[in-house]
Amino acid sequence: MAACKTVLVPLPLTQPQRSTLEKAAEVTGAACTFVYAPEPTDDQLAAANVIIGMVPPERLPLAANLEWLQLSWAGAGPYCAPGIVPDDVTLTCASGAYGLTCSEHMLAFTFDLVRRFPEYHRNREQRIWQAAGAITSVEGSTVVVLGLGDIGGDYARKMHALGARVIGVRRTVKAVPDYAERVVTIDELDEVLPEADIVAMALPGNAGTAHVLDERRLRLMKPTAYLLNVGRGNAIDPAGLKAVLADGLLAGVALDVTEPEPLPPDDELWSYDRVFITPHVSGQLFLPETLNRIVGIAANNLRAWLSGEPLAHVVNRDLGY
């Protein structure tokens, strides 16, 4: 008989969500002990064969019996650094869990910018009844989406449904989805940036995406274009962005991620009226459905792992997702 496996779950699960995980193990006939601990002790980490959720990378060396780590993030950047997760430990992520919440945040950003709501919010605070002026329509606009994974793809699909012309940018070109007019690689980014009315970023964090929008590329965008980012803060060069804004370029910028994070109170980006910032909240677990999706992904993988079948969303440690 196979040894009982200890599954450590540092996630704030409801009883129905716990049952989903436990039933996934039951159907395989494997013996599992589930330990639910939002802040696991050293002993709990040492006993874990499986972790479903996030443990600070610096504590992972304590998990000496770990065989599989199922992250609750869509990305895995900090966990791909050498020495954090041993090569013989399977590493999977929760890709597919965040498309709904992040794409809706991006959609809110989009309408906030094109309808000039930040200005109206400021006017409201000062009780000023005054029109902000000309606006842009989403319908008929050209949207360049950097990153066509779960999040960027969901946003692109929504924008297409609203009548936008979508151009996708990804690491490699696969089949062009029905919501996109075309898909290009990062190497062709310079060619499509001047077409964009809106540039939306949902890129993972890795060496290939760091400062992919530098000052030179930002200056390729229309002065009237809008920029939004919910992927990784370091995908935009902050010095380049500030230089472009200082020259009066870009009609508006919406950032859920920044470099650095948290953005210091004295950072110059806070001072620009046409820059709207949220504190990395597009994902997280604020939308209950996100945690349901994470549990669903983890349950399917747990069933597969206990049955000796391939797991979904295995992380490419070179790419970080």
Instruction: Enumerate the active-site residues.
Output: 232, 261, 280
Q: Which residues pair with 184 in a beta bridge?
A: 169
Asked whether 167 and 196 are in contact (CB, 8 A), the reply is yes
Report residue 238: phi and psi, to 5°.
-65, -35
Please tell me the distance from the alpha carbon of residue 284 to that of residue 278, in angstroms, as a whole number.
13
Please tell me the distance from the alpha carbon of residue 181 to that of residue 157, in angstroms, as a whole number.
11
CB within 8 Å of 172: residues ≥ 6 apart: 185
Q: Which residues pair with 35 in a beta bridge?
A: 8
Please tell me the distance from the alpha carbon of residue 173 to that of residue 156, in angstroms, as a whole number.
16
Closest CA to 252 of 112, 147, 158, 140: 112
Asked whether 234 and 205 are in contact (CB, 8 A), the reply is yes
3-state secondary structure of 229: strand
Length reported for the chain: 321
